[in-house]
Structure 1
C-alpha cells in the first residue's frame, strides 16, 4: 500500500521507469500487472484483458492463474466487471462479489473461486482496440477510495507506457520489413538486371498473384532465393 502524496509520487515514478525499461510490449504488460499488485491498495492479483479490432477478447497478462480463470468465466457468460470496464465504463468496482446483482451468472461462479472483490480500469481506447486492467482480492471490500485514486493514476501511467512500447515495437518491425524488401529488391536487380523500381513492381505483382503479404514474400526471397510466382517483365 502507498501512503501519502509524496510516497505515491515516488512509487509512480519508480513504476514509470520500470515500464520504460522493458524490452517488448509483452514485457511491459507483464510488468504492469506485477507493479499493480505492489502499488494499488487492496490488490492481490492482477490481469490485463485486450480486444483488438473488435475481435475475441483475451487475457494477455496476469500475475498468476486466478485472473485467467476468473476472466474465462466472464468470456463464457458474456458478462462481468472486466468486460464492463473494457466496453462501457472507464472504472468498475465490485465491493462484494457474493452480493453482486449486476452480473449474476458471473458473480456466482467467481465467488466460488474465493474472489471477494474486484476493481477494473479501462486502460485505453484506440480505434477498435481496447484494454482493461483488472484487480482481484479474496476478501469483500478490499478496495477503497485510496485504491480508486491510486488505480486511476497507475492506469494512466500504464496506458502511456504500453502505447510507447507498442510504438517502439511497430517501428522496429517496420524497419525490419524495409530491410527485407531492400534485400529482396537487390536479389531481383542482380538476378534479372532490373532497376530498383522494376524490382519493387515485381514484388508487388507477385504478392498480389500469390496472395502473399509483401513482407512475407520479401522474407522468403531473402532467405531462400525463391518466389512463389516467377517474375515476368519489368
Structure 2
C-alpha cells in the first residue's frame, strides 16, 4: 500500500531523528541501518531502501537494506557494472527513474530486474570531503512513484548522512580491515559452497544457482548469507 506524503513538520522530525541516531552511532552497520529505515519511513511509495558503500576490502556493497529486493537489485548492479545507484555514485548526481522497464541507460540491469517488483528508483550520491563515498537509494513497485520533490527529500538525507558516515567509517577503518577480511572470506566461501551444492543437485551453472538463492532470500525476507547457511547445513529449502 502506498504511503502518504509526510507533512513538512513530520518530515523535519524524521530528518532530525535520523541525524540524532547517526550522531550517537559508533559503527557503520548500525548507522546505515538507521539511515535506511528512516528513509523508508519518510519517502512515500517506497518498497525498500538501502545504502551502497565500500566495504573493508574496497568493494562496492549494499548495507542496511530494508527489503531483500534491494539486496538483489543492488547485487545485479555490482555484478553487471551498471545501474542507477552506480551512476549516482560515479557521477555525483541524483538519478531519478520513472519507469525502469522503459529506461535505456542500463540495458543489462534493466533486463535482469524485469521480474523484480521494481518500477521506480531514486538514488542520491553520498558526498563527503569532496568525494563520493557511496549512494542511498529507494525502490518503488509503482511507475512514476517519485518526482523531483522526492529526489530533493532524498538529498536532504544524503548530505549530512554522508559526512557523518564518513567520520564513523574512518574511525573504524583499522579494525574493520581485519574483521572485514575475515568476514568477507567466510561469506564468500559459504555462498560458493551453497552454490556448489545447488549446481550438483540440479545440474545447473553457477549463475543459475546464485539467482535461485537470491530469489529464495527475497521471497522469504532473508539474506543471501542466511540462505547459503541453510543449504550448507542441509536444512530443507525450496530452491526449485
Same fold (TM > 0.5):
yes
Q: 1:130 aligns with which of 125, 129, 133?
A: 133
TM-score, scaled to structure 2 = 0.64
Does the 8 A contact of 1:81 with 1:120 survive in 2? yes
Find the counterpart in structure 2 of residue 159 from structure 1: 162
Q: 1:105 aligns with which of 100, 103, 108?
A: 108
Does the 8 A contact of 1:123 with 1:133 survive in 2? yes
Find the counterpart in structure 1 of residue 223 from structure 2: none
Q: CA RMSD in A?
A: 2.7
Q: Sort the Cα spacing of 1:115 and 1:152 in 2 relative to 1 into closer, same or farther, 3 A.
A: same
Q: 2:61 aligns with which of 58, 62, 76?
A: 58
Find the counterpart in structure 1 of residue 33 from structure 2: 30
Find the counterpart in structure 2 of residue 118 from structure 1: 121
Looking at structure 1, the residues matched to 54 and 68 of structure 2 have their Cα atoms a distance apart, in angstroms, of: 20
SS of the residue 1:115 aligns to: coil
Looking at structure 2, the residues matched to 167 and 107 of structure 1 have their Cα atoms a distance apart, in angstroms, of: 34
Gaps of 5+ in 2: 177-240
Gaps of 5+ in 1: 174-234
Does the 8 A contact of 2:92 with 2:127 survive in 1? no
Residues 38-67 of structure 1, C-alpha deviation per residue, up to 9 Å, x if partnerless? 112332201211236994322233112111
Q: 1:44 aligns with which of 39, 43, 47?
A: 47
The answer on 1:143 being equivalent to 2:146 is: yes
Q: Sort the Cα spacing of 1:83 and 1:4 in 2 relative to 1 into closer, same or farther, 3 A.
A: same
Does the 8 A contact of 1:45 with 1:64 survive in 2? yes
TM-score, scaled to structure 1 = 0.65
Q: 1:10 aligns with which of 8, 13, 20?
A: 13
Looking at structure 2, the residues matched to 128 and 45 of structure 1 have their Cα atoms a distance apart, in angstroms, of: 26
Aligned length in residues: 173
SS of the residue 1:67 aligns to: helix
Residues 88-145 of structure 1, C-alpha deviation per residue, up to 9 Å, x if partnerless? 1320011101111111111121121121111101012558762111111111111123
Does the 8 A contact of 1:2 with 1:8 survive in 2? no
